[in-house]
Amino acid sequence: MKFKLLQDAIIASYRTAAIVVLLTVITGVASYLSLLVFYAVSDSWAAPIRLSPSHEKVLAIQPQVATIEASLLNQRTALMKAVDEQDLLKRSTGDVSDTVNQLATAINADAAAMNVTSAALGDVIKEKEAVVREADKAVAAARDLLLSSEKELAAGLITQDVAAARRLTAQSAITAAADLKASLAQLKYQQSQLSRGASASKGSGKSVQGVQLVQQQKELDTTLVASNAQSLLLEETINALRSTIVEQERLLAVAKQSPFFRARSEIVHVAFVPYSNLKSMQVGDKVYDCLLQVVICSEVGKVTRIYDAEDYARHPLFKTDLKGQLVELELSDKTASFSQVIFIGGRPLFL
Amino acid sequence: MEIVYLIFALPITVMVLNFGLTLFLRACAKSTFIKKDYEYTPTVSVLLPCFNEGPHVYETILSIMRSEYPMEKVEIVAVDDCSSDDSFQWLEKAQQDFPNAVRAFRNPVNSGKHKSLAFAASNSTGEVLICIDSDCIFDKMAIREMVACFSEPDIGAVGGRVGITNVRENIMTQCQTLVYYYAFHIMKMSQNWARNVTCISGCLFAIKREYFDKIEVEVTQRNWFGIGVRDGEDRYMTHLLLLKGLKTYINIDAQCWTSAPNNLRQLFMQQLRWRRSGLRDLFWTIKNFRQNVKVMSPVTIINYIFPGALTVCWPFMYIYAGMTAWTTTHLLAMLPVYVGIYFLIGLAFNMYVSYHNPEQKISPFTVSVLGAWFIVDSFFTTLLALCTFDVGNWGTRGNPK
């Protein structure tokens, strides 16, 4: 009897357990299949994401922003330096240009003066040559006098003193003639120097000094050209830096608008919305969170912003990879951010 | 690697290895096949339990009467288990038409196949009892082939091969044709080699009378916590014989034909019944594990435990896969491959049967559905079977009178 009662109890327990198991399985399978169908047709679901300062994407964006800021700072500094360098270069280029002009003017003036002096010297040389010719004649006469003095001295026609005085006079005449010739030669040399100097300033290369002057002039010209080239380069560098800075500032502004950046100091509630569901969404749409995935839903907030950047996430049921965008949420019930799925725009099954 | 991959890969690997081993035994091991003695012609009693079979039972009896066996040594003992249709009238007609061979009885109350068999056996005289189903048509060589296998010592029971008559009726029958063919030609070969077939189909089950008598009481009194068990008597009888140290064998040359379920309800109820009997046998084996280990070889123990354990695990694997979204992520993505494999299996099957059994040819495209059925069957049917051990009726033959 007891065994029979035990058997009946076992049977009863088994049947109860079997019913519970079967009902659970059937309910589970039916729910799963229903969810599959629901997610296949629903276009209002979104996956909430709670961005905290320790979120990996929040942490990842900070060094990126810092890098942009550092790069921007470097470029601004480089721009300032380039601008200063350009100013300095402009001033030195101006000085060099003035010097070149002055040198050219001086060279021309020198050449003109040399020409005049050379012409004047030419006249002097002619006069001097005439004098030299006269001197030569005097020298010849002096030499004759010397000869005759010797003869006369020898003949005793003149005294030693007279002979000596005659010799002195003749010698003075000869020396003076020689001096005249020397000075004439010097004058001719000076004249040739001046004419060579004047022609060297035109580039003929016949005077060392002239060549040196021309060399200096060329060096100054080269320095001027180099300065101009450097100035152009600096100009391009400055333009490039300016456009880069503008771009970096734009990038920085965009990065700072990202929710991941804003979440570095506070929790930001966003939701991933796949592209297929984004079409019907707009700022201001109400957000709903449901108790059993899709039923018993309540309003928990609204959409405050739709971000442009593309993002990726996994489908909450199918676990397939999806592309979409993030939307920012203003949640009245913060616990909704812990749900797997929320709905935007309306209750999914109107429940 | 995700554990789910291992969970699904392990049974598939085992199945593939088992397929390879059994194919090898089928093709290369001569010891897989018994030496038959066609000179051995004992008296045979064909036990025919019948329930709501209608005129088909008469066709069954006709097919037996056409057997190439000394018919003076054959008797047919038919027992109607309180059919609500005209099955018993047909049995009486057969008795009238073949008074020397056919005897018809009717149970006083609906008792189940196992008790009908016992009743038929108690009214039979043959040395060899052949238990059959009333919806089968017999090949003329079936009796001779089965009896010839008793030449080997210690053979307790011999089974035959079941073919499908309505092969091309619809997708379900085509799929079942492949499954039946695979089961008899391939799956049971390793068991044949060990002479330890774990389940001889009740469609065609030959047993020596002396051995039937030894197990009859256990078969008729079989119950589950006091609730009489009516299904899986063929599996239970086979197991009892093995526990007695006897051998069992399937002779694929002993052929009978049956109609496969052609609608989902019938198919599901049939599978549920078979699954329930398989799981009962599993838990019974675990319960009597020591006794099984004492008598049977390790290979046989593995054949008893492993497939059943896998069967129990499959639903939980599916639940786990569903909860982790592995199903939607991976299984759905691999569905074309999965379906393709079944298509290839169908092609291979057709190539083989074209030479051996062309009447069993199917469309490989429809076999692809088998993969989907396997998933549904291994989940729902197993769970339902586990939860309905207290159900006794078959569910496929209607209600008794």
A17 CB neighbours in chain B (<8 A) are: 387
Backbone phi, psi, residue A272, to 5°:
-85, 125
* Cα gap A299→A58, rounded to integer Å: 28
Residue A292 has pLDDT above 90, yes or no: no
**Residue A227 · residue A58 · CB < 8 Å:** no
Q: Strand A286-290 vs strand A297-314: parallel, antiparallel, or unpaired? A: antiparallel
Which residue is closest to A18 within chain B, CA to CA? B387
Cβ separation of A21 and B387 shorter than 8 Å? yes
pLDDT, tens digit, for every residue of B230-262? 888 899 999 999 999 999 999 999 999 999 999
Q: Furthest-apart CA pair in chain B: how many Å?
A: 69
Q: What ipTM was predicted for this assembly?
A: 0.77
Which residues does A contribute to its contact with B (CB < 8 Å)? Answer: 4, 7-8, 10-11, 14-15, 17-19, 21-22, 25, 28, 32, 36, 317-320
| Residue of chain A whose alpha carbon sits nearest to that of B315 | A25
> Which of A11, A35, A314 is the best substitution to test chain B (most B C-beta atoms within 10 A)?
A11
DSSP state of B36: P
Q: What pTM did the predictor assign?
A: 0.69
**Alpha carbons A109 and A204: distance in angstroms, whole number:** 17
* CA separation for the pair B380, B388 (Å, rounded): 12
| Count of C-beta atoms within a 10 Å radius of residue B197 | 24
Q: In this structure, what DSSP letter does residue B199 have?
A: -
User: Residue B5: pLDDT above 70?
Assistant: no
Give tens-digit pLDDT for A14-42. Answer: 999 999 988 998 888 888 888 888 888 88
Residues A22, B384: C-beta atoms closer than 8 Å:
yes
* pLDDT at site B147: 95
Answer yes or no: do A14 and B389 touch at CB < 8 A: yes
Contact B226 A7 (CB under 8 A): yes
Phi/psi at A349 (nearest 5 deg)? -115, 20
**What pLDDT is stored for residue B331 in this prediction?**
65
If you measure CA to CA, which chain A residue comes closest to B376? A29
Confidence at residue B332, expressed as pLDDT on a 0 to 100 scale? 67
In this complex, the residue of A7, A14, A22 whose CB is nearest that of residue B383 is: A22
Choose from B223, B225, B227 for mutation: most chain A CBs within 10 A. Answer: B225
- pLDDT for the residue B327: 62
Give A12's contacts in chain B (Cβ within 8 Å): none
3-state SS, residue A50: strand
Choose the mutation target among B280, B326, B390, B391 for the interface with A, i.e. most A CBs under 10 Å.
Answer: B390
Average pLDDT over all residues of chain B: 87
Given the DSSP bridges, would you call strands B247-258 and B136-138 parallel, antiparallel or unpaired? antiparallel
The β-bridge partners of A327 are A271, A306
